[in-house]
Amino acid sequence: MTELKGISRDDFLGGAIRLYQPEEGYRIATDTVFLAASITYEKNDRILDMGSGTGGILSCLLSRTVDGSAGNIFHGIELQGQLLDLARMNAADNGFGDRIEYFAGDIANPPHACEPNSYHHVISNPPYLKKNDATASPCETKAVAHMDSHIELKAWVHLCLRMLKPLGHLTLVQRADRMDDIIAALHGKAGDIIIFPLWSTMDKDARRVIIQARKGGKGIIALKPGLIVHTSDGTFTPQAEAILRHGAALNIAK
């Protein structure tokens, strides 16, 4: 494919997939890969990525599970036109063009093709930063993707839950210091909550968490041991390496 100005093409999952993304601005991080690795689904399930960016989550998910994905629906909604174009390009370039469909739109007003109460799984990597708590990036794609804008985190969670079938699963990755905001947003609306920390190293606090909940579930919160991402010398742990380089699954329920 012709080289695109200002766009890099980067290897993920040990080169199993390659993703186009802006050289400056919004770029996929390991959080995306870990989130995708945590998703399991059944035949004929419908899966939706809310705020799909350049499509990293669904491309990573399909790379790991494509052989068992017949009959499933994979949708993504993205507001920013440049990222939407790249998401569609990435799906096609990795051989998933007939499996993943991305829609232009605001998650607060989803396109008609994405019906509320119709998905078995909703996956999302909401903006990490509270509005006005940090200086917004001068790159628009990064600023919109990383900082609350017209949709704050509580509303983002509620919009995700709106798209789920009863007892469907919502799975998010977020900064650990915003975990209480997500739990508060889930209160009375979802249960069977799993909190899975992503520890940077064994001796440091977790900076990220994966949180999963079931719409209408009644179970209590379960805090899991989580995953240590780096060793003391900064290299990836064997468990993280297996996920990031070899496409291994991440079982957050155990």
Task: Evaluate whether residue 131 is within a structural domain.
Answer: yes
Q: What is the CATH number of the domain that holds 59?
A: 3.40.50.150
Task: Evaluate whether residue 254 is within a structural domain.
Answer: no
Residue with tokens 């509580």: 154
Report the C-alpha gap between 173 and 30 in whole angstroms: 11
Summarised one tens digit per residue, pLDDT across range 179-209 is 999 999 999 999 999 999 999 999 999 999 9
Per-residue pLDDT, 129: 65
Instruction: Say how many domains are in the chain.
Output: 1
Report the C-alpha gap between 36 and 249 in whole angstroms: 9
Q: Do 72 and 43 form a contact (C-beta atoms < 8 A)?
A: yes
Mean pLDDT of the chain, nearest integer: 92
| DSSP-assigned letters across all residues of 9-66 | EEEEGGGTEEEEEESSS----HHHHHHHHT----TT-EEEEES-TTSHHHHHHHHHHG
pTM exceeds cut of 0.75: yes
pLDDT of 145 higher than 50? no
Task: Evaluate whether residue 124 is within a structural domain.
Answer: yes
Per-residue pLDDT, 150: 75
pLDDT of 5 higher than 90? no
Report the C-alpha gap between 42 and 121 in whole angstroms: 10
pLDDT confidence bin for 139, thresholds 50/70/90:
low
Task: Evaluate whether residue 113 is within a structural domain.
Answer: yes
Rounded average pLDDT over 212-235: 96
Task: Evaluate whether residue 82 is within a structural domain.
Answer: yes
pLDDT of 146 higher than 50? no
Task: Evaluate whether residue 250 is within a structural domain.
Answer: no
Task: Evaluate whether residue 88 is within a structural domain.
Answer: yes
Task: Evaluate whether residue 93 is within a structural domain.
Answer: yes
Q: What is the domain range of residue 155?
A: 7-190
Summarised one tens digit per residue, pLDDT across range 11-44 is 999 999 999 999 988 899 999 999 999 999 999 9
